[in-house]
Structures are given as structure tokens and as C-alpha cells.
Amino acid sequence: MKQDNLIKNLKENEYILIKSKDDLTFEHNKNTPLYKMTGFSGTAGEAIIDTTGKIILFVDPRYHQQADSETRGRNVDVIKLDMGTNLILALKKTLPKGSTLYVPSKSTKYAIFNLFQKTLTKINIAPYDTEDEPETKAAVEEVSLDICGVSYNKKIDKLKRVVKGQNIFVSSLEDVSYLLNLRSYDIANTSVVKAKMLILNDKSIIFTDSKIPKLRNIEVQPFNKMKSIFTKIDEPVLIDKNTISLNDFNLIKTPKFMLSNPAAKMASTKNKAEINHYKEAFKKLDSALYAFREKIKPGLSEFELKELFEEELIKKGAKCTSFKTILAIGENSSSIHYSNYDKNKILKEGDIILLDCGGYYEGGYATDITRVFFCKGKMSDKVKEIYTAVLKAQLNCYFTDFEMTGELDFCARKILKKYEKQEFLFPHSLGHGVGIPVHQAPPTLTLNPKYNKKLKNNMVFTIEPGLYKMGTTKTDYFGSEFGIRLENTVYFNNGKKITLSKFPYEEDLIDKNKLTKKEQNWLQIWQDMAKDEQGNTLGEK
């Protein structure tokens, strides 16, 4: 039964899980059921709806303030999850025993559905079908060999060797885009191609409704042929339970789980050509930031500032943004993923601007950086104190040698923890891998022991400590709410982290008396590097 009909026919103690995307959608947008029903535009969140039309929205700490703001006035209750509570545990507390939860089969990964069944033992879990997204007929481009470094045939051959000739279904769009060296930029904030791939011993089949370039030794079939093709395959097919949807899992006669995703592992360590492309891409991104900084002046709105930055991003060579730009003035910076761009929020002297941004260039690899700018005027001691604390965490994480991802996260958290007494929190992980998607795993920089892994040469990832005070008032943010985040994208090489981001820190916001001599030296090294890279005098506009 389709979602709309299911909602009309709900009975008492029946609930529908509403998600913002299916397995062919990478970016939440205004066409998704979650946005239409709740108004929530964050990039992560799920909701349930009952027969009365009441909606409960579940969001993690990054979206607490945003969810409250965007759902105000609607028939929506927001449940704010903490860092130790996931959706399933929240559902276990929320849903009455004996109730039924309908779960969308195309937007729910098999692993999540399995966890639902194992954890929600007092609840009946029932899959339901969803409408297919209309095909966009997006243009698809090939990435040149001097950027990607390895041909698609060699990547597929390597994958076959890794799985020892077994059949494998590549269900992740980003993995398929990586293996085939294909990109598409028609959909906002992503470069992935809407395609899945079945690799057999004697041939490879791409399932897609997009028109892709002809690829030697590759058979192309539309998505609606998947079922009939899988019906003919009796041998086991390797799958990644974390990326395959429940719908696709049910098409395969003999699915065989992999312990890890070999395609994702291949993509996580970049080759020399990819690293070189990244260096050039970040030069262009840094250049856009310099141009944007020149245009900051009182009287501009959040929306106008966002438009100015994205205009410079495209001028400096980006094809499009690599994720939805986060730009917030003053107290709005306390919302970690703020992207409302209020036309009535006007920049004043003394305000800060948090800008978290990135672009895709000709290689289709995401870039990502966060900086906080200051509009000249009266400086708040509290803003300066918090900025310096986050900078201290950033410098220590970058310049101190760590090989385990958990050690890096702990380093930042140890420095920032004391600010909890002032209600400034660090409610997200320290960083994430970067590749074709802006969030690529591995690596993941968090205290969660599940993700504590040794960094490998040429892994590209972010370091992004932050502190946020998320209060309830909307007055002068100097005494109430604001947030500071400083993010650089780096790559790992022989025990060292080498930065790709080379944009300076805001000198006006730094209290150097709160930095140790070692940290002051590190800061000078960074600022001098940025000066040499751009040929600009730091601090000048």
C-alpha cells in the first residue's frame, strides 16, 4: 500500500514512519514527505504519524533548535535525542506495546529494519511500499583519468579480486559513482549518479534510468528490470546490509552479508591524482572565501550573504555547492545546521557570521570548511573566549600526532568540556570522512568505540570542533546564544595530518593570552601558511 492510502486507512495504535528520502535520494528537499508534513528541512530526522494526524519528529542534537523553529505552529511534537539515544531506542519509549509501525521499504536500510525487529520486540513491524521518485533525466559526466587516477575497469577488476570472484551488488549511489568514475550535478548538493550495480563473474550490469556514457563491458538496464534479473540468479550475491534497502534486499534470492564494504574501503583512501585534485579544489574554495570576506558589511541580510558567498563559489570554479550552505548571523549560529537564511536578519557591527560551506569542482569530490567571520565593531569578550577555546581544540587536534580516530575526538572534547558549566556544548562528533559525498565513512571521528579505527594514508577527513549555547531567548547573543565552529579538511600521510583547507583564522576573535606558547606558535605557522598560499596580508580586507 502506498503512503497516502496507508495514512487514510490507519487504525488506532497504528503508526507510519515518515522519512525524508528514499534510497535514490541523497539530499533532503522540499518534495520529501517529512518536509511537507512537518516543515523540518534538516538533513537528518524521522517522524511518526498516527490516525489522528499527530506527528512526532525525532531529531539528534544538531537539529534541536532548528526543529523547534521550523515546526512551530504545526501539529508536531519534537523529541530531542541526545548523543546516546538513537531513533530505535526513542521509538521503544514512545510507541505503546502491541502497536504496529509501518516502515517504508525503499527508504529503510535492511540493517535498520533488522534492528527494528530485534529491538522493538513488543511492536509489530510491517514494511510498506512508497511511490517512486520521478526520474529527473539528469546529465551524467565522466571524470577524467588525470583527476580520478584509476579507470573504472581497473576499479571493477580490483573489486572482483577483493571478493574473490563472487557476485556482488553495489547498492550505494556514491560507491557506484566512484567505481564508474561518473558524476551528475543536476540535483542540488550532490554529485552522485542515480545508479546501482550488479557485478557478476562474466559481466557487470548498471541499473539506472539516467542516460550514461557508453562504458566498455558494462550492460545498462532500467531500474524496473532489477526484479526480473535477480530472479534468474540462484547463486549467492554479496551485499552491504548497511547500504541496501529492504526493498532491494527482498529482490535477491540468496543474499550474503559482507563484514565490510570493499567499495567504500577503496574509495576512502585517495590516490595521488585525487589528492592533487583536492589541493586545487580547496585553493578555489579558499579563494571564494577571501572574495566573500571582502563583501561583508553591515546592512546585509543572512539571505543576501548566502547568495554573495555562493556567487563567489561559482565564480571561482565550482560546479555547485557540495551541501546546503550553512550561514548564520549572531544567535542563529547556535543552531548547528542552520540554513533558513532569514531575509529579516540583518548584519550589524559587532555581529559574527558562521559559514559552513563547500563546492563540487570538475572531479565531483566534495569540499568542506567552516569559518566564523566578524563584522567590525564592538567585540564581545564572551565570543572571543569561545572562539579561542574552539581554536585551541582545532590547533591541538591538527598539530598533535594521533593515529586513532577516537584519540582525535577525545583531544578536542577534553579541551572543550569545561565550557559545559557555561552551557556551551560540543554535541557532535569531531569529524567525518570526505569523498564524493561530503560525509563519507570511513573514517568517523567520534568517541564511539565502534568507529575507533586507525587512520590510513590518504584518508581525507574533517576536523571540526565547536561550542554552541542553545538557549531560549532571541535577544543580544553576546549574553545568550551563539555558536562557534572551526572546520578544516585534511588528509593523513605517514602519521601526519596535512591540511587541504588553508584559510586563516579571524585575528580579531582570538585572545592569544588564552593560548599556550606552543599553541601561539602553531597559530603563527597556520596564519603564515595561509598568507603564503593566498599572497594576501592577513587581517586586511
3-class secondary structure, 134: coil
User: DSSP secondary structure string, 481-541?
Assistant: -EEEE-BEEEEEETTEEEES--PPP-GGG--GGGS-HHHHHHHHHHHHHHHHHHT--TT--
pLDDT at position 413 is 97
Q: Look up residue 502 and give its amino acid.
A: K
As a whole number of angstroms, the distance between CA 59 and CA 357 comes to: 22
Around Cβ 507, how many Cβ atoms within 10 Å? 12
Q: Are 434 and 464 in contact (CB under 8 A)?
A: no
What's the CA gap between 316 and 314, in Å, rounded?
5
pLDDT of residue 539: 38
Distance CA 3, CA 132 (A): 11
Distances (CA, A) of 68 to 62, 79, 144, 498: 12, 10, 45, 39
Element (H, E) at 79: strand 76-80
Cell of 367: 569540499
- Asked if residue 168 lies in contact with residue 238, where contact means CB atoms within 8 angstroms, the answer is yes
Give 471-476 contacts, CB < 8 A, sequence gap 24+.
Answer: 471/334, 471/423, 474/331, 475/331
Look up cell 548566502; give the residue.
306
Q: Which three cell numbers stand for residue 373?
A: 567571520
* DSSP H or E stretch at residue 494: none
Cell readout for 63 is 537539529
Q: Measured between alpha carbons, how far is residue 139 from residues 31, 174, 182, 183 in Å? A: 20, 16, 10, 9
Answer whether 383's CB lies under 8 Å from 351's CB. Answer: no
SS3 (DSSP) at 416: helix
Predicted local distance difference test score (pLDDT) of residue 29: 55
Residues 43 and 26 sit within 8 Å (Cβ to Cβ): no
Contact between 499 and 378 (Cβ < 8 Å)? no
- Report the distance separating Cα 176 and Cα 169, nearest Å: 10
Cell triple for 252: 535477491
Q: Do you find a cis peptide bond into 442, omega within 30 degrees of 0?
A: yes
What distances in angstroms separate CA 532 from CA 283, 503, 535, 536, one per listed residue? Answer: 12, 11, 5, 8
Task: Encode the chain (541 residues) as per-residue pLDDT tens digits.
Answer: 466 777 788 899 999 998 866 667 655 556 677 888 898 887 788 999 999 999 999 998 778 878 888 899 899 999 998 867 789 999 999 999 999 999 999 889 999 999 999 999 999 999 988 765 556 678 899 999 999 999 999 999 999 999 999 999 999 999 999 999 999 998 889 999 999 999 998 899 999 999 999 999 899 999 999 999 999 999 999 999 999 999 999 999 999 999 999 999 999 999 999 999 999 999 999 999 999 999 999 999 999 999 999 999 999 999 999 999 999 999 999 988 888 899 999 999 999 999 999 999 999 999 999 999 999 888 899 999 999 999 999 999 999 999 999 999 999 999 999 999 999 999 999 999 999 999 999 999 999 999 999 999 999 999 999 999 976 444 333 346 899 999 999 999 999 999 999 999 999 999 999 999 999 999 999 999 999 876 543 333 3
Residue 405 half-sphere exposure toward CB, CA atoms < 13 A: 26
Residues 6 or more apart in contact with residue 146 via CB below 8 angstroms: 273
Indicate left, alpha or beta for 239 from its phi (over 0: left) and psi (-120 to 50: alpha): beta
Task: Enumerate residues 6+ apart whose C-beta is below 8 A from 73.
Answer: none
Mapped onto helix, strand or coil, the DSSP state of residue 300 is coil
Nearest to 328 by CA among 318, 320, 337: 337
User: Of the candidates 268, 82, 278, which has an alpha carbon nearest to the alpha carbon of residue 174?
Assistant: 268
The residues pairing with 256 across neighbouring beta strands, listed in sequence order, are: 238
Q: CA 304 → CA 63, 185, 310, 322, distances in Å? A: 23, 24, 10, 19
Query: Given the DSSP bridges, would you call strands 359-360 and 218-221 parallel, antiparallel or unpaired?
Result: unpaired
**Residue 513 has what DSSP assignment?**
G
Cell digits of residue 313:
563559489
| Cα-based distances in Å from 16 to 47, 48, 106 | 8, 5, 14
- In this prediction the pTM is 0.90
Residue 443: C-alpha distances to residues 139, 155, 318, 452, 536 (Å): 30, 21, 25, 9, 34
